[in-house]
Structure 1
Amino acid sequence: MLRGFIRRISPLSILSSEELERIHAETLEVLERTGVSFLHQKALELMKANGCKVDFNSKRIRIPGWLV
């Protein structure tokens, strides 16, 4: 917020807090089950060293929810 300005209306909320929580939970599941592709070998090694499941052949990393 800018200094010296007062917000007279509440910010626009499109999603409820429950909906945001569900999106977050589903996103964590995608990262853990499907994973993401990384082409950089050093990134693959770094993620493996920090608790991710890494398939070096397909260059896919599965990130556990506790790490996000």
Structure 2
Amino acid sequence: MNVSELQLHQAIDAIRDSEKLEAIYTLLKGTKGPFKPMSGEEYVGAIDEARQQIKEGKCLSVDDLEKESDNW
């Protein structure tokens, strides 16, 4: 075990706040986010779909988005 690993172990061992420990555990166990890995084929399909949406005008310009966000 190197110095960094030892320091990490000591820092975690010193934590007594269960909420902090739970947060650290969640980070360390590698919980997956809302996104799943995509295959190359899925990725290309998503890009094609996005391009089609742009062609159909199903998008906002930055200016329009800023105006819309003023109402949030």
TM-score by length of 1: 0.29
Greater Rg over alpha carbons, structure = 2
Structure number with the higher strand fraction is 1
Structure number with the higher helix fraction is 2
Higher relative contact order (CA 8 A, sep 6+): 1
TM-score by length of 2: 0.28
